[in-house]
């Protein structure tokens, strides 16, 4: 078979969708017989929300019609509010959705597109040679069988067997100072502000939803996720391990230490599953390479971060970046697989800086409190808020381009309403087939590149033409009415190679 994906979480299933859009029928191996009901990630933030829209997944995930709207109120950075109202164009998009729903929607979509999902099938070994990869798999009946694949992608968590079997290192740092506690709870109804949704804590003050509070003793957050009981969480430093199961009383005591006052947390209603967990320490690690011959890594198999909540957002974008490139290699149209690591690994390195910055600003101590006061003053300046908002959203990273490329090249495609003879359509809607696109906005039209669908339109923009990769990043752009057609065709040939029949 052409491609096997090990791991049926959001990253592996997103990759399966992308490969299927590229004309490849992948097989996904997932050791769990059913999606895990354990609450994990609580949603998506930033560029990946826009990509969900560009693949027709936003409405399925959000449960509401229409395209995503930018967050223009507030977000957080190291438990400090980013006032997004100071910005003309907010880059932050929020999609609160539990991971279980994300998995179900992506599995449904991957199956629609022709991917084969094998649940209850666990990878036990892997070897490769110059022609392919041999996988040893244990099936649901405990019998072992072998698969032969052209390519294998590990989307199998931070403990990735694919990564270990390929001899790929996972250097980084383990942090053991922090203890995080979280639980679904009930809170006193009269403590809730109906206007802001804030939890008014006597003796402390209002705690805005989804905006963590940092004190000199630790952190506290209140997250009323749609369809679930509120999630309350704390983080403390240098707490001794108890070796006993987590309890609600333990969380209440932690809240008292952090906020200096009692919060009457009750058990959550309904059958669950509900969060009640304690996590000691954390890891920040990045694989020393994302590729070993015919084996690739995405998501937590390639990177984990101790702070920042960015793992799923980053992993799904890994999958979107790799999917069309791997499909092109399998189809024999182009070989740009080496650009997967050169484009995606620097973003993981950037996220390490983001994670470390937040960890430093959340640490205990009066000196950190003083630093936060100065930082808080900076956050009243629109330029600072814009820079941090772009960092949070992942909108500050440009893929490598030639030195004289158009300023838009390497960046995600802008959101445009395109006026065509057949009516107005959003650029995001045109991207749903996952194919290269040439948007011809010149006065005379007539632009062409082999193997690329051309859409002639008008739009409110200074750009006259856009060549988009299947992942909706700009490969080439022009602001002239008579663009250089040779430059356009050479760029298309570099990225997309020889066209194949759709």
**C-alpha pair distances (Å), 340 with each of 149, 241, 330, 434:** 20, 41, 15, 17
> Is pLDDT at 210 greater than 90 in this prediction?
no
Q: Which CATH number characterizes residue 191's domain?
A: 3.30.70
**Does any domain span residue 318?**
yes
Claim to verify: residue 236 and residue 331 sit in the same structural domain? no
Claim to verify: residue 14 and residue 112 sit in the same structural domain? yes
- 344 — pLDDT class (breaks 50, 70, 90): very high
> Is pLDDT at 374 greater than 80 in this prediction?
yes
**For residue 60, what is the enclosing H or E element?**
helix 58-62
Residues 490 and 150: their CA atoms lie apart, in Å, by: 29
Claim to verify: residue 317 and residue 258 sit in the same structural domain? no
Domain around 17:
3-173+284-393
Claim to verify: residue 270 and residue 289 sit in the same structural domain? no
Mean pLDDT of 349-359: 87
**Does any domain span residue 182?**
no
Q: How many Cα atoms occupy the beta-carbon half-sphere of 495 within 13 Å?
A: 27
The model carries a pTM of 0.92
Claim to verify: residue 25 and residue 110 sit in the same structural domain? yes
Q: Which CATH number characterizes residue 378's domain?
A: 3.50.50.60
Structural domains in the chain (count): 3
Q: What percent of the chain has pLDDT over 70?
A: 98
The DSSP secondary-structure symbol of 403 reads: T
Claim to verify: residue 386 and residue 430 sit in the same structural domain? no
Residues 289 and 209: their CA atoms lie apart, in Å, by: 38
CB 70 within 8 A of CB 93: yes
pLDDT at position 227, please?
78
**Does any domain span residue 501?**
no
Residues 219 and 238: their CA atoms lie apart, in Å, by: 13
**Does any domain span residue 38?**
yes
pLDDT at position 500, please?
46
**For residue 347, what is the enclosing H or E element?**
helix 338-362
Span 158-168, pLDDT tens digits = 999 999 999 99
Question: In the listed set 227, 261, 280, which residue is the last one of a domain according to the structure?
Answer: 280
> Is pLDDT at 145 greater than 50 in this prediction?
yes
Claim to verify: residue 53 and residue 135 sit in the same structural domain? yes
pLDDT at position 460, please?
95
Question: In the listed set 366, 393, 420, which residue is the last one of a domain according to the structure?
Answer: 393
Span 87-133, pLDDT tens digits = 999 999 999 888 889 999 999 999 999 999 999 999 999 999 999 99
Q: Which CATH number characterizes residue 467's domain?
A: 3.40.30.120
Span 187-209, pLDDT tens digits = 999 999 999 999 999 999 999 99
Q: What percent of the chain has pLDDT over 90?
A: 77
In this structure, what token pair is assigned to residue 114?
A: 């022709």
Q: Report the candidate in 67, 63, 102 with the shortest Cα–Cα distance to residue 319.
A: 102
Q: Let me know the angle formed at the C-alpha of 134 by 129 and 139, rounded to the nearest 5 degrees.
A: 170
**C-alpha pair distances (Å), 412 with each of 161, 245, 376, 383:** 33, 45, 30, 21
**Does any domain span residue 446?**
yes
- 373 — pLDDT class (breaks 50, 70, 90): very high
Question: In the listed set 344, 362, 393, which residue is the last one of a domain according to the structure?
Answer: 393
pLDDT at position 335, please?
92
pLDDT at position 354, please?
85
Residues 57 and 120: their CA atoms lie apart, in Å, by: 26
**Does any domain span residue 129?**
yes
pLDDT at position 501, please?
45
**For residue 353, what is the enclosing H or E element?**
helix 338-362
Mean pLDDT of 460-467: 96
Mean pLDDT of 224-243: 86
- 39 — pLDDT class (breaks 50, 70, 90): low
- 499 — pLDDT class (breaks 50, 70, 90): low
Claim to verify: residue 311 and residue 459 sit in the same structural domain? no
Claim to verify: residue 91 and residue 202 sit in the same structural domain? no
Compare 310 and 498 and report the one with higher pLDDT. Answer: 310
Claim to verify: residue 366 and residue 427 sit in the same structural domain? no
pLDDT at position 309, please?
60
pLDDT at position 327, please?
97
Compare 233 and 178 and report the one with higher pLDDT. Answer: 233
Q: Which region among 16-25, 223-232, 437-446, 464-473 has the lowest average model confidence (pLDDT)? A: 223-232
**Does any domain span residue 465?**
yes
Q: Which region among 164-178, 285-299, 379-393 has the lowest average model confidence (pLDDT)? A: 164-178
CB 229 within 8 A of CB 98: no
**Does any domain span residue 418?**
yes
Claim to verify: residue 161 and residue 249 sit in the same structural domain? no
Mean pLDDT of 169-173: 92
> Is pLDDT at 283 greater than 90 in this prediction?
no
pLDDT at position 306, please?
72
pLDDT at position 90, please?
96
Claim to verify: residue 13 and residue 148 sit in the same structural domain? yes
Q: What is the mean pLDDT of the chain?
A: 92
């Amino acid at each position: 078979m052409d491609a096997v994906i090990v791991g049926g979480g959001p990253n592996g299933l997103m990759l399966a969708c992308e490969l299927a859009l590229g004309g490849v029928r992948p097989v996904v191996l997932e050791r769990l017989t059913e999606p895990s009901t354990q609450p994990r990630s609580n949603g998506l933030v930033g560029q990946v929300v826009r990509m969900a829209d560009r693949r027709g997944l936003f409405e399925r995930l959000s449960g509401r019609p229409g395209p995503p709207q930018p967050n223009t109120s507030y977000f957080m950075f190291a438990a400090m509010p980013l006032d997004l109202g100071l910005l003309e164009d907010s880059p932050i998009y929020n999609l609160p959705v539990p991971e279980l729903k994300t998995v179900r929607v992506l599995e449904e979509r991957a199956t629609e597109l022709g991917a084969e999902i094998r649940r209850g099938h666990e990878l036990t070994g892997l070897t490769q040679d110059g022609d392919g990869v041999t996988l040893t798999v244990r099936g649901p009946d405990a019998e072992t069988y072998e698969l032969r694949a052209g390519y294998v992608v590990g989307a199998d968590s931070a403990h990735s067997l694919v990564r270990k079997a390929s001899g790929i290192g996972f250097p980084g740092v383990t942090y053991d100072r922090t203890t995080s506690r979280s639980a679904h709870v009930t809170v006193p109804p009269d403590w809730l502000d109906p206007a802001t949704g804030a939890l008014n804590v006597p003796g402390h003050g209002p705690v805005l939803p989804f905006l963590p509070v940092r004190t000199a003793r630790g952190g506290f957050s209140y997250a009323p996720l749609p369809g679930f009981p509120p999630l309350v969480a704390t983080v403390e430093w240098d707490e001794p391990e108890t070796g006993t199961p987590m309890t609600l009383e333990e969380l209440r005591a932690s809240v008292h230490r952090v906020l200096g006052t009692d919060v009457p947390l009750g058990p959550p209603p309904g059958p669950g599953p509900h969060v009640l967990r304690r996590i000691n320490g954390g890891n920040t690690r990045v694989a020393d390479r994302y590729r070993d011959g015919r084996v690739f890594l995405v998501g937590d198999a390639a990177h984990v971060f101790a702070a920042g909540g960015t793992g799923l957002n980053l992993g799904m974008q890994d999958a979107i970046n790799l999917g069309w490139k791997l499909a092109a290699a399998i189809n024999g149209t182009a070989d740009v697989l080496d650009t997967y690591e050169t484009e995606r690994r620097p973003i993981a390195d950037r996220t390490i800086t983001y994670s470390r910055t937040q960890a430093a600003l959340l640490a205990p101590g009066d000196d950190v409190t003083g630093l936060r006061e100065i930082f808080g003053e900076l956050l009243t300046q629109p330029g600072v808020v814009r820079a941090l908002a772009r960092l949070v959203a992942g909108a500050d990273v440009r893929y490598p381009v030639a030195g004289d490329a158009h300023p838009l090249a390497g960046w995600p495609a802008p959101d445009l309403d395109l006026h065509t003879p057949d009516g107005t359509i959003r650029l995001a809607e045109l991207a749903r087939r996952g194919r290269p696109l040439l948007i011809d906005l010149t006065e005379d039209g007539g632009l062409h590149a082999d193997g690329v669908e051309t859409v002639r339109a008008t739009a409110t923009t200074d750009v006259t033409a856009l060549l988009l990769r299947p992942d909706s990043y700009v490969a080439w752009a022009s602001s002239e009415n008579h663009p250089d057609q040779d430059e356009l065709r050479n760029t298309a040939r570099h990225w997309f190679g020889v066209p194949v029949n759709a």
